[in-house]
Amino acid sequence: MGARERREVVVVGGGPTGAAVAIGLANRARDVVVLERAPVWRWRACGVFTSPATVAALRRIGLRAGDLAAVARPIPAMRVEAPSGTRFRLTYGDDGSLRSAAVGLDRSALDPLLLERARDAGAEVRSGAAVRDVDLERGHVRLADGSIVEARVIVGADGIRSIVARGAGVDRAAFLAPRTGLTFHVPDPSPDVARDGRMIVFDEGYVGLAPIPGRRVNVGIVLGGRWLDRLRRGGAMEVVTEVLGAIPPAGDDPVDWATASGQACDPIEGAAPIGHRVSRRHGPRWLVAGDAAGFLDPFTGEGLHRALVSAELAAAAVDRHLGGAHGALAAYDRAMGARFRSKDAVSLLVQAFLARPALFERAARSLADRPVVRETMGLVMGDLVPASRVLDPRFVAALLRS
């Protein structure tokens, strides 16, 4: 029989969500241990491009200006490109100074830094601690080596295939057709130039290109429909080569995309399915946060900001629960619903447009021609203003007006 120990809080997963939860709890003098299955950081399919709201959240959990300069590269705007060639720029509220710009994140630097900050705050971080299963009724987490950690609260911060969400029986399929994501990096020939990211939409898919620190450009490809069969038959490299080869040239983009697939800096990592949801986010002695609490749409760049906000809410709720506040975990669930319900509706609306090329083209022309409408969309997608603004019938009418 394996060893047993008791802790106040076990956080399953050592990505940004888990690290941020641990920082928040350790700063409140709670006994918390983070269990991260990977012995060392490795590249995996994850979010890289994000809005100024995420940078603000990173500051709130303790990252300083020097930290951010090392892990984040300012991106003046995300340029969205429709199949017809229509283009529009989403600036996410930046005035052109890059002081409040969107960024491309170096996850190989950010993720370990956040875990280090968790250690500095007083949390214990165990790398290479793979969780085999969870007994949420008893508060037991069983590790691959047979040992058991008993906790008053278990936090699932372990992504879209969360073992905590599955153990609770709350994992559900997303309200979207199946999609697969592929991500990797290629060298950046102009690493010192601030330039736009690109989001190129094509039939049944899109590809996002985001410059990041370390002389690299992150490539994120999302595929649905017929591409999924192509992926099964031909493999990731064949599909990636075709997708990158079809990227139209742009004068400010120095990468030769026709040959870029042969220059990948790391293996192509995949995630499938991309989206999922949960029927609830809490139980009597557990909750889920970040992607484990539901993820819909990489097109709107929702993942990292939602991860950090959910971590802040989760840490506060767990602390209140441990302090005897009845209903604190349920209140977290309600707060998450209130915070992200409208954004989820916007994400579903965006996906509905993407699934109908003529409708997306009409919206793209409207956004290109109407600065006020375009600015509102950028602020909503960047989590800088309430998402309900996009759901206003007057906004939708303006978006579809010829």
pLDDT bracket for residue 1 (50, 70, 90): low
Exposure string (b/e) for 364-373, b if CB count within 10 Å is 16 or more?
A: bbbbbebeeb
pLDDT of residue 364: 95
Q: How many residues does the chain have?
A: 402
Instruction: Verify that 38 and 126 share a domain, yes or no.
Output: yes
pLDDT of residue 123: 98
Instruction: Verify that 186 and 261 share a domain, yes or no.
Output: yes
Instruction: Verify that 22 and 128 share a domain, yes or no.
Output: yes
Q: Among 107, 95, 253, 120, which residue's Cα sits nearest to residue 183?
A: 107
Q: Residue 393, exposed/middle/buried by CB under 10 A (0-12, 13-18, 19+)? A: exposed
16 sits in which H/E element: helix 16-26
* Helix, strand, coil abundance in the chain, percent, nearest 5: 40, 25, 35
Q: Residue 124, exposed/middle/buried by CB under 10 A (0-12, 13-18, 19+)? A: middle
206 sits in which H/E element: strand 205-212
pLDDT of residue 93: 87
CATH number for the domain including 242?
Answer: 3.30.9
Instruction: Verify that 138 and 26 share a domain, yes or no.
Output: yes
Q: Give pLDDT tens digits for 212-244.
A: 999 999 999 999 999 999 999 999 999 999 999
pLDDT of residue 400: 82
Instruction: Verify that 46 and 191 share a domain, yes or no.
Output: no
- Is 102 inside a domain boundary? no
Task: Give the end of a domain, one of 271, 291, 311.
Answer: 271
Task: Give the end of a domain, one of 271, 289, 318.
Answer: 271
- Is 88 inside a domain boundary? no
Q: How many helices (H) and strands (E) does the chain have?
A: 13, 20
- Is 15 inside a domain boundary? yes
For residues 78 and 220, give the distance between their C-alpha atoms in angstroms, rounded to a whole number.
14
- Is 74 inside a domain boundary? no
CA torsion sign, 276 to 399 to 380 to 305? Answer: positive
Instruction: Verify that 40 and 25 share a domain, yes or no.
Output: yes
Q: What integer best gives the mean pLDDT of the chain?
A: 93
pLDDT of residue 401: 79
Q: What is the DSSP letter of 295?
A: B
Instruction: Verify that 326 and 370 share a domain, yes or no.
Output: no
CATH number for the domain including 11?
Answer: 3.50.50.60
pLDDT of residue 176: 80
pLDDT bracket for residue 162 (50, 70, 90): very high
- Is 387 inside a domain boundary? yes
- Structure-token match 């996002």, residue found: 208
- Is 41 inside a domain boundary? yes
Instruction: Verify that 230 and 318 share a domain, yes or no.
Output: no
pLDDT bracket for residue 399 (50, 70, 90): confident
Q: Give pLDDT tens digits for 170-186.
A: 999 887 888 999 999 99
Task: Report pTM.
Answer: 0.94
pLDDT of residue 45: 79
Domain containing 368 equals 354-400
Given a cut of 60, whether residue 387 has pLDDT beyond it is yes
Instruction: Verify that 223 and 339 share a domain, yes or no.
Output: no
Q: Give pLDDT tens digits for 290-333.
A: 999 998 777 876 689 999 999 999 999 999 999 999 999 999 99
Instruction: Verify that 186 and 236 share a domain, yes or no.
Output: yes
Q: Confirm if 219 and 242 have CB atoms less than 8 A apart.
A: no
Question: What is the DSSP secondary-structure string of 125-162?
Answer: EEET--EEEEETTTTEEEETTS-EEEEEEEEE-S-TT-
- Is 297 inside a domain boundary? yes
pLDDT of residue 402: 62
Task: Give the end of a domain, one of 225, 243, 271.
Answer: 271
**SS3 at position 257:** coil
Share of residues in the chain with pLDDT > 70 (%): 99
Instruction: Verify that 139 and 11 share a domain, yes or no.
Output: yes
- Structure-token match 């630097």, residue found: 109
Overall domain count for the chain: 3
- Is 27 inside a domain boundary? yes
